[in-house]
Amino acid sequence: MVSEDKTQGQKSSVSGLQTNADIFAAFFRVGMLGFGGGPSAIPLFHREAVKKYKWMTEDEFGDTLALANTMPGPIATKMAGYIGYRVNGLMGCLVALVSSVVPTVLLMVLLLGMLQQFKDVEWVNGMSAAVVPVVGVMLAVMTWDFFKKSGESLGWQRAVGLTVVFAVLMEVLNIHPAFLIVGILVIVLMPRKRKGGAK
Amino acid sequence: MIYWSIFLAFFIPGILGYGGGPASIPLVEKEVVDRYGWMSTQEFGEVLAFGNALPGPIATKMAGYIGYMEGGVLGSIVGLFASVAPSLFLMLLLMATLMKYKDSPQVKNITKLIRPLIAVLLGAMTLQFFMTSTESFGGIQTVVLIVVSYWMLEIRKIHPAFIIVLALAYGGATSLI
């Protein structure tokens, strides 16, 4: 309750409690209703933050999304943390994070933990073996998705070229992706003279 | 120390994964399977399967669960913190600067250029999963499982959670026979 008068002067501490409850409810719903990871939950964020609670306008939401995309890491928690922070300071940020993350992690620990207890039982082991090809298919779909988006944004020639280069570097020469990503960051962000054709 | 390893295992994918949680899946796999050897590919597949079947952000479900398996409740908190806090903290800290650059072509280029890299990592993981499956089921059954689950997932658009449950049931039933 300390941080809120610093960030949003108009909130009294009673309505601050209400605000935190709203934040919790909003991001709890986003977390529990969004399947397929953070990026697919973006429309749900929009529904809560813009439509339902009117914490931000359409434009501000668009800005927030763009802002979140400038940084690496999971998108859902950046959105939740940022919106929570804007609405109710540090406390809001924490409430948003906890409500969007903790319930699903608990579910995960509960369900998977149960399965793990019996992992030496043959049929339980068979269960987890059968899930592997299915996850493979889901990964294949995601692979294609990333590849298609690359083709659309870079042009197919450059996308295929880069894919081949990355494949050789990582899978043949065994270079850790971290080095390549840092390399890309350095090359892209390095200040340089304007040459015009950077598009 | 285990907590430091957990921190690093999720900090690195969190700080490098451009394109949201799903982009960090192969990066997490590199750490927890290849580097730290906390789990086999099959076990990681299980984690991913449940991650896909349950709602919510995928990166945090992996971090929270794997952190818990390796280091209990504190491990879970460390994993979550490492995957969520650094990029969020930077974002809040650099808000004013980032607002200026969020529409700059350079920033957009980062995501564009990293996308094919993630595609390669995901593709490699896909192959690895198919190979693991071939080891346990043989080629023919693996191909059948792939075709059927693709058909259900992409053509019939059945919910992933339902397909995972079916796969679990199938695997359990066949190993009893």
- Tens of pLDDT, residue by residue over A73-106, are 888 899 999 999 999 999 999 999 999 999 999 9
Grouping H, G, I as helix, E, B as strand and the rest as coil, residue B40 is: coil
Which pLDDT tens digits describe chain B residue by residue (177 residues)? Answer: 899 999 999 999 988 888 777 788 999 999 999 999 999 998 999 999 998 888 888 899 999 999 999 999 999 999 999 999 998 888 888 877 877 877 788 877 888 888 899 899 999 989 999 999 999 888 899 999 999 999 998 999 888 888 988 999 999 898 887
Distance of residue A14 Cα from the nearest chain B Cα, in angstroms:
26
The residue of chain A nearest to residue B77, with distances taken between CA atoms, is: A102
Test the A interface: residue of B62, B77, B81, B84 with most A CBs within 10 Å: B84
Q: How far is CA B106 from the centre of its chain?
A: 27
Q: Is B77 in the A-facing interface, judged by CB distances under 8 Å?
A: no
Q: Is B2 in the A-facing interface, judged by CB distances under 8 Å?
A: no
Q: Is A135 in contact with B45 (CB distance < 8 Å)?
A: yes
- Would you call B48 and A138 a contact, using CB atoms and an 8 Å cutoff? yes
- Alpha carbon separation from A178 to A181, B115, B116, B118 (Å, rounded): 5, 14, 14, 11
Q: How far is CA A114 from the centre of its chain?
A: 27
Q: What is the pLDDT of residue A123?
A: 85
Identity of the residue in B114, B154, B172 whose CB atom sits nearest the CB atom of A181: B114
Distance of residue A186 Cα from the nearest chain B Cα, in angstroms:
10
Q: What is the pLDDT of residue B36?
A: 95
User: Does A5 have pLDDT greater than 70?
Assistant: no
Q: Is B119 in the A-facing interface, judged by CB distances under 8 Å?
A: yes
First-to-final CA distance of chain A: 47
pLDDT in tens, A12-68: 556 778 999 999 999 999 988 887 777 778 889 999 999 999 999 998 898 888 888
Eight-state DSSP code of residue A41: G
Q: What is the pLDDT of residue B9?
A: 96
Q: What is the pLDDT of residue B160?
A: 84
Q: What is the rounded distance in angstroms from the CA atom of residue B148 to the CA atom of residue B154?
A: 10
Distance of residue B102 Cα from the nearest chain A Cα, in angstroms:
6
- Would you call A138 and B153 a contact, using CB atoms and an 8 Å cutoff? yes
Q: What is the pLDDT of residue A104?
A: 92
- Helix pair B105-137, A122-154: axis angle to 10 deg: 150
Percent helix, strand, coil in chain A, to 5, is 80, 0, 20
The residues, ordered by sequence, that sit 6+ positions from B129 with a Cβ below 8 Å of its Cβ are A132, A133, A135, A136, A139, B41, B45
- Would you call B153 and A141 a contact, using CB atoms and an 8 Å cutoff? yes
- Please report the ipTM that was assigned to this predicted complex: 0.86
pLDDT in tens, A104-163: 999 999 998 888 888 788 888 888 889 899 989 988 998 998 899 999 989 999 999 999
B57-77 in b/e burial notation, b at 16+ Cβ within 10 A? bbbbbbbbbbbbbbbeeebbb
- Would you call B171 and A127 a contact, using CB atoms and an 8 Å cutoff? yes
The residues, ordered by sequence, that sit 6+ positions from A91 with a Cβ below 8 Å of its Cβ are A1, A3, A4, A16, A20
Q: What is the pLDDT of residue B7?
A: 97
Which tokens go with B20? 């949201």
Q: Is A3 in contact with A89 (CB distance < 8 Å)?
A: yes
